[in-house]
Amino acid sequence: MRDAEVLARQKGDIRSEENIRWMVDSFYSKARDDDLIGPIFDEAISDWEKHLPTMYRFWGRLLLGVENYYGNPLQKHFPLPLDQTHFSRWIELFVSTIDENFSGPKAEAAKKLAQNIAGTFQLRLGICTESDEWIKPGRILEK
């Protein structure tokens, strides 16, 4: 059996705060190295040691029901120079991070939540309208 097959059989669902940390750290590692969205993250986030725990709490609340995140993530995005290509790349990297590391109902929920968040942010930031097909709630991008 190939290494990739062994890894695929070992993938489990997102069940713990440790899984959330792995998911967030893996995603941000990709995002920060990305030519399109990496520079935006690096410009917007001056203190990664503070930002990452905030993201652990954000996703922990959404996926595990841990009641320790209270904030307005949309507000932080208003001053950023974002367009649909940035959100598309964010979703692409997020979905690939989930697919590479997890499998199960919570993993699928994470992908749907990310898609819904991206769609909502684009609507609220005035980047897209409700008629734009790709931001429909619950739609997962094809791999």
pTM, to two decimals:
0.81
Is the predicted pLDDT of residue 93 greater than 60, yes or no?
Answer: yes
Q: pLDDT per residue over 8-45, tens digit each?
A: 447 899 999 999 999 999 999 999 999 999 998 888 88
Is the predicted pLDDT of residue 117 greater than 90, yes or no?
Answer: no
Task: Please compute the mean of the pLDDT values over residues 91-103 and round it to a whole number.
Answer: 96
- For the chain, the three-class secondary structure string (H helix, E strand, C coil) is CCHHHHHHHHCECCCCHHHHHHHHHHHHHHHHHCCCCHHHHHHHCCCHHHHHHHHHHHHHHHHHCCCCCCCCHHHHHCCCCCCHHHHHHHHHHHHHHHHHHECCHHHHHHHHHHHHHHHHHHHHHCCCCCCCHHHCCCCCCCC
Label residue 5 by pLDDT band (50, 70, 90). very low
Task: Please compute the mean of the pLDDT values over residues 44-60 and round it to a whole number.
Answer: 92
Label residue 1 by pLDDT band (50, 70, 90). very low
Structural domains for the chain: 12-135 (1.10.490.10)
Least confident of 57-66, 68-77, 91-100: 68-77
Least confident of 10-14, 73-77, 120-124: 73-77
What is residue 143's predicted lDDT score, i.e. its pLDDT?
39
